[in-house]
Amino acid sequence: MLGKGLSYFGIFLLTLLSLLPLSILYLIAWVFYCFVYHVFGYRKKVVRANLRNVFPEKSPEELLAIEKKYYAYLTALVVEIIKMRSISKRELQKRFRFKNIEVLEDYFRKGESVLICSAHYGNWEWGTLSFGLAISAQNYPIYKPLSDVVFDRWIQKVRSRFGNKLIAMNQTLRALQASKNEASVFCFGNDQSPSKDELNYWTTFLGQPSAVQLGIEKIAKKTNRPVFYLKTTVIKKGYYEVECVPLCLDPAAAAEFEITELHVRFLEQIILKEPAYWLWSHRRWKHQPPQVA
């Protein structure tokens, strides 16, 4: 009972905070950065190990610069996500712009559906929220439910404010079947580490042996829905631009693991170009490939 009470109290505080203008929230984020980075050192060991492994050629000074920029962005990202509860459509569309969205609309006009890849890069939460506003088809973001039922219900409500229909990962096939007669978009994150019982495909990602989820490829080949990547660019604080990039327009003809390698390599290049906006505090490489005898 105490756990639920704390969750409701936390939601109440987050709702109040979301009413503040972003200019004030960014000041809070700066204070938050000072505590998270300089006082508590939140997951510094994880971030530093990840950066050293991915960028062995960079000097300690270069790695430190990426690290600080990452934490400064992470704390700003937190307050942007809090703002989702009350941000208006107009404000969101001003801050999160989509270019060449017509490449998707060409499919929707014919009643056809597509699959979308994205990652924990830039403000993925604003991206999901605003994407549903940018397209004419129904948007189905795939998500992993939180263990806190109360908070999970609240965050689902926030994420679906503007018409998105969230689908739990284990309900994806059922949702695909139920929506087969409408033009739709199913959005997948492509940088999450698979669970221990799903370590079926290994590749190299950012120079590290990495297990990759195969769900996007399996669904693409089964339905022959074209696959696009939403490439996010951070323009400046609180402003983003997204380009819809075609990855595979004929999945049924793709070789095994070709689609998986396409989206992994695409994300890799985005991160290498501007690394500070990826989620470095995530334990992406907690699993190691089996040893070959």
pLDDT, tens digit only, all 293 positions of the chain = 557 888 999 999 999 999 999 999 999 999 999 999 999 999 999 999 999 999 999 999 999 999 999 999 999 999 999 999 999 999 999 999 999 999 999 999 999 999 999 999 999 999 999 999 999 999 999 998 988 999 899 999 999 999 999 999 999 999 999 999 999 999 999 898 887 777 789 999 999 999 999 999 999 999 999 999 999 999 999 999 999 999 999 999 999 999 999 999 999 999 999 999 999 999 999 888 887 43
Going from the C-alpha of 105 to that of each of 111, 137, 183, the distances in angstroms are 10, 8, 10
CA distance 58 to 78: 28
pLDDT tens-digit series, residues 273-291: 999 999 999 999 988 888 7
Closest by Cα among 160, 162, 159, 140 to 223: 140
Closest by Cα among 207, 197, 231, 217 to 284: 207
DSSP line for 43-56: THHHHHHHHHHH-T
This prediction has a pTM of 0.93
DSSP state at residue 100: S
CA distance 16 to 85: 9
